[in-house]
């Protein structure tokens, strides 16, 4: 049984990174008409070549900014034999900072989108895209702030960042605490943390127990327990969202996505 759990730990990390690379060439195509015109009825859309990404262009098979965050955290965990906050900060600076492949005159600004517009920027840029939370982290780190996470960033980076953490710490009492610290290094935002810890609980369940129809129910139970680890004020909202997901499990993905977006 222990060997099976180890395999699931590895699969969680490898699966997340491969999926990120596979989706990267079609990343951030928000115009559904353009996306449908591009892929048509094809089902084999992984590793689309040439890239149709409207914001940045990378070689087929390269990781996006999400994947690079997960890989950087993974490497830091391995190098430090566990979570070392200072090592992770330095590793993040090395991967995404001004001396990295992420430095681009169009995408280098920290936060102000108006600055980008003034540059008459042309897209897609040649190279990777530096995410908003990473820009904020770099600014806060450069200013010597102890708290480096972006206060206003609620984006899904939080769910990708926890994958290597859960893979290592699943089944250990400090898992959620470490996951929260890793999220807050770049997203010091309560909603991002609540979403990230909900994802952590779900991934931990799959790693420890394997495929199961009970996974979401178990996470709902955890989030509803008074003495739960790392309670968040938004846990009740996470329960409501999970229940809504279960209610829509038989709704076609595209329609379900629209329903959630409109809400």
Per-residue pLDDT at 253 exceeds 90: no
Residue whose token pair is 């770099």: 138
Q: Is the pTM for the entire model greater than 0.75?
A: yes
Angstrom distances, CA of residue 12 to CA of 70, 74, 149, 153, 170:
11, 12, 25, 25, 11
Q: Please give the Cα distance from 89 to 223 (Å, whole number).
A: 30
Contacts 24+ apart (CB under 8 A), 95-103: 95/68, 96/65, 96/68, 96/72, 96/130, 96/134, 96/137, 96/138, 97/138, 98/138, 101/127, 101/128, 102/65, 102/127, 102/128, 102/129, 102/130, 102/134
Q: Give the model confidence (pLDDT) of 182-192 as tens digits.
A: 999 999 999 99
Per-residue pLDDT at 108 exceeds 80: no
pLDDT on residue 261: 76
As for how many domains the chain has, the answer is: 1
Per-residue pLDDT at 119 exceeds 70: no
Contact 47, 21 (CB under 8 A): yes
pLDDT on residue 206: 98
pLDDT-based confidence at residue 258 (cuts at 50, 70, 90): confident
Structure tokens of 165?
């953490």
Q: Give the model confidence (pLDDT) of 146-183 as tens digits.
A: 999 999 999 999 999 999 999 999 999 999 999 999 99
Structure tokens of 28?
């951030």
Question: What CATH number has the domain bearing residue 77?
Answer: 1.10.4080.10
Which residues touch 116 (CB under 8 Å, ≥6 apart)? 106, 107, 109
Q: Please give the Cα distance from 64 to 62 (Å, whole number).
A: 7
Which residues touch 157 (CB under 8 Å, ≥6 apart)? 66, 69, 131, 133, 186, 187, 192
pLDDT on residue 114: 59
Residue whose token pair is 């997340």: 16
Angle value at C-alpha 176, between 167 and 142, nearest 5 degrees: 90
Contact 152, 160 (CB under 8 A): no
Average pLDDT over residues 11-29: 97
Q: Which DSSP letter does residue 200 get?
A: H
Average pLDDT over residues 206-235: 96
Q: Give the model confidence (pLDDT) of 228-239 as tens digits.
A: 999 999 999 999
Structure tokens of 48?
């689309």
Domain, as residue range, for 159 = 2-262
Per-residue pLDDT at 107 exceeds 90: no
* Torsion angle of the four alpha carbons 157, 160, 165, 166, in this order, in degrees rounded to the nearest 10: 130
């Amino acid at each position: 049984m222990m060997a099976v759990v180890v395999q699931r730990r590895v699969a969680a990390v490898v699966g997340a990174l491969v999926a990120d690379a596979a989706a990267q060439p079609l990343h951030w195509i928000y115009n559904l008409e353009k996306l449908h015109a591009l892929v048509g009825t094809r089902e084999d859309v992984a590793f689309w070549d040439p890239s149709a990404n409207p914001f940045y262009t990378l070689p087929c098979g390269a990781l996006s900014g999400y994947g690079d965050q997960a890989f950087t955290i993974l490497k830091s965990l391995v190098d430090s034999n566990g979570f070392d906050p200072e090592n992770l900060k330095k590793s993040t600076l090395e991967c995404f900072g001004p001396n990295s492949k992420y430095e681009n005159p169009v995408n280098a600004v920290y936060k102000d989108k108006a600055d980008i517009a003034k540059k008459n920027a042309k897209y897609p840029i040649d190279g990777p895209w530096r995410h908003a939370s990473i820009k904020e982290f770099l600014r806060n780190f450069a200013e010597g702030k102890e708290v480096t996470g972006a206060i206003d960033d609620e984006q899904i980076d939080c769910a990708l960042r926890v994958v290597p953490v859960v893979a290592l710490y699943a089944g250990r009492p400090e898992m959620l605490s470490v996951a929260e610290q890793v999220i807050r290094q770049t997203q010091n935002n309560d909603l991002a943390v609540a979403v990230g810890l909900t994802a952590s609980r779900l991934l931990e369940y799959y790693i420890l127990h394997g495929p199961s129809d009970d996974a979401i129910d178990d996470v709902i139970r955890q989030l509803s327990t008074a003495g739960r680890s790392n309670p968040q004020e938004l846990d009740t909202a996470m329960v409501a969202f999970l229940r809504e997901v279960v209610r829509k499990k038989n709704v076609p993905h595209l329609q379900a996505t629209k329903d959630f977006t409109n809400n």
